[in-house]
Amino acid sequence: MSTLNFRNIPKMDELLRDGRFTTFKSCATPSKIAQLLRDELNELRTQISQGQYVDTGRDELSEIVIQRVCEALQAIHANRLRRVINATGVVMHTNLGRSSLSGSASAKAAEIATSYSNLEYSTLTGKRRSRLAYATHLLTDLTGAEDALVVNNNAAAVFLALSTLAEGTHQRDEASTHQHDIECSSVAERASVILSRGEIVEIGDGFRISEIIAETGCRIVEVGATNRTTLDDYRKAITADTTALLKIHSSNYKIVGYTESVGTDALAELAQEHGVPLIEDMGSGVLIDLSKFGFPYERTPTDAIADGADLVTFSGDKCLGGPQAGIIIGKKPLIQQLRENPIMRCLRIDKLCLAALEATLESYIEGEATPTIRCISNTEIKERAEKLQSVLVHDSVSAYQARVLPHDGQFGGGAMPLTPIESYGVYITSRFSPNTIEMALRTAEPPIIATIQDDNLVLNMLTVSDEDIPHIIGTFRALDAHN
């Protein structure tokens, strides 16, 4: 093997001077770039020793190394958080950030982010105050609950509620028995939460409610069957160790056919009869009547409170249309117990999300629609689809054939899984394969996220705004021009 190939290996200092690396100065330090170069140079030496690049000169080897490092840096850069265009038709797309904030919510968060604020300071008294004072007022006003609390997401809300009540059950049992030996037993062995088998759900990214409950110090007592649970099933399961009755909304699936479940009002009566709290996890957080937009009526937190639930939990970033948050409303004594739990410090909402949540709740007080509500109630979807289709077909974008066809959208985000949203899609075929177009859109700036159906690239216009259309057209033109 000739040593010439090894002599042609480029030097590190020469490679580091390549101007292409400046593109990535915001996502990788010089030392990181140097490390990537060292790794590629080592790989190059291995390949040369194996007989590759026999007739390759130094300039060509330099280009190979630089290209590989640029590809690695591009992969890192692509993971930064940035805006995308959602052309999937899924309104609260979990992977794409769920609900968009309103202009007022975004402005409020930006204002608080760039200045000092009265986060935990009362300008009336000059003393410390709770950061949740105003949000609590808005939530109790909107729902009719006695008190409210906000944490960083809905899973945290359920966790806080059950872990607090589990500790209370443990202390109650110790006081009632006066047996010192039970101090050695764990909370998990004594505290129990009663839950229908049909409501033991799995939420996003493989997290199961059963696993979250286990971490709270409670054990689940499963009642009923997957498709049918009766009030008597709950009644028979209640013991002295029962921490709570738990009702969980089946927000990302539906059981249909031969089914039976127990309403909140009946469960509340049973819970009150036995002196245990009823917790209802509503998930999606619908605050208004969606039937006026043509959708089936979806129960609201106000309904759950009126039906007698002691604690109600729901998300801030789904149908509510705010930032990521977990909201707990309910009876004042129980909320106070949750508020005093030391773990609350670990779960509290930060100032930017709180600012956006306050502004979002104010919009409900004022009767203004959030972007999420405006999206699902939009009546100009077909016109927007026809506008895009017309440009692609008639305005010198020669590579594409486009048709406008009905293409239902979805709520997404674990809300109303069987309820379609009437929408239209632009179905695109061309000399490029659907996968080629999809990748070109996905790697554009900003990325455009579309779907493939029946060998068509489909842009569902439910979730595409008028401001998005020029970006989409520009990306299609660029693909046509470069191929």
Question: Do 127 and 234 reside in the same domain of the chain?
Answer: yes
pLDDT in tens, 419-469: 899 999 999 998 889 999 999 999 999 999 999 999 999 999 999 999 999
Question: Do 165 and 208 reside in the same domain of the chain?
Answer: yes
pLDDT reported for residue 252: 65
Question: Do 240 and 169 reside in the same domain of the chain?
Answer: yes
Question: Do 340 and 382 reside in the same domain of the chain?
Answer: no
State what percent of residues in the chain have pLDDT above 70: 92
Question: Do 279 and 162 reside in the same domain of the chain?
Answer: yes
Task: Tell me the residue range of the domain where 405 lies.
Answer: 85-97+376-482
Quote the CA–CA distance of 215 and 147 in Å, as a whole number: 26
Quote the CA–CA distance of 469 and 448 in Å, as a whole number: 10
Domain end among 369, 387, 411: 369
pLDDT in tens, 307-316: 999 999 999 9
Quote the CA–CA distance of 52 and 9 in Å, as a whole number: 13
Question: Do 279 and 195 reside in the same domain of the chain?
Answer: yes
- Specify the number of domains making up the chain: 3
Could you tell me the CATH number of the domain that includes residue 389? 3.90.1150.180
Quote the CA–CA distance of 325 and 152 in Å, as a whole number: 5
* Helices of type H across 323-408: 332-340, 344-347, 351-366, 371-376, 381-394
Question: Do 169 and 268 reside in the same domain of the chain?
Answer: yes
pLDDT reported for residue 370: 94
Cβ burial, residue 367 (10 Å; 0-12/13-18/19+): exposed
Q: Per-residue confidence at 415, pLDDT binned at 50, 70, 90?
A: confident
Average pLDDT over residues 43-65: 91
Question: Do 56 and 119 reside in the same domain of the chain?
Answer: no
Quote the CA–CA distance of 160 and 167 in Å, as a whole number: 11
Q: Under a CB-based contact definition with an 8 Å cutoff, are residues 319 and 289 in contact?
A: no
Does the bond joining 446 to the residue before it have cis omega, within 30 degrees of 0? Answer: yes
pLDDT reported for residue 183: 43
DSSP lists the bridge partners of residue 246 as: 195, 279
Q: Under a CB-based contact definition with an 8 Å cutoff, are residues 65 and 47 in contact?
A: no
In a 3-state reduction of DSSP, which class is residue 143?
A: helix
pLDDT in tens, 154-208: 999 999 999 999 986 655 555 554 444 444 344 445 699 999 999 888 876 677 8
Q: Under a CB-based contact definition with an 8 Å cutoff, are residues 405 and 388 in contact?
A: no
Domain end among 369, 401, 416: 369
Supply the DSSP string of 406-420, one letter for each residue: E--EEEETTEEEEEE
pLDDT reported for residue 396: 54
pTM for the complete prediction?
Answer: 0.90
pLDDT in tens, 207-249: 788 888 999 989 999 999 989 999 999 999 999 999 999 999 8
pLDDT in tens, 356-411: 999 999 999 999 999 999 999 988 999 999 999 998 887 655 678 999 999 999 99
Question: Do 302 and 392 reside in the same domain of the chain?
Answer: no
Domain end among 45, 78, 111: 78
In Å, how far are 44, 60, 62, 457 from 55, measured between CA atoms?
A: 14, 10, 14, 43
Question: Do 357 and 447 reside in the same domain of the chain?
Answer: no
pLDDT reported for residue 414: 74
Point out the least confidently predicted range of 104-118, 253-267, 419-433. Answer: 253-267
Question: Do 58 and 120 reside in the same domain of the chain?
Answer: no
Question: Do 36 and 124 reside in the same domain of the chain?
Answer: no
* Helices of type H across 178-230: 209-215
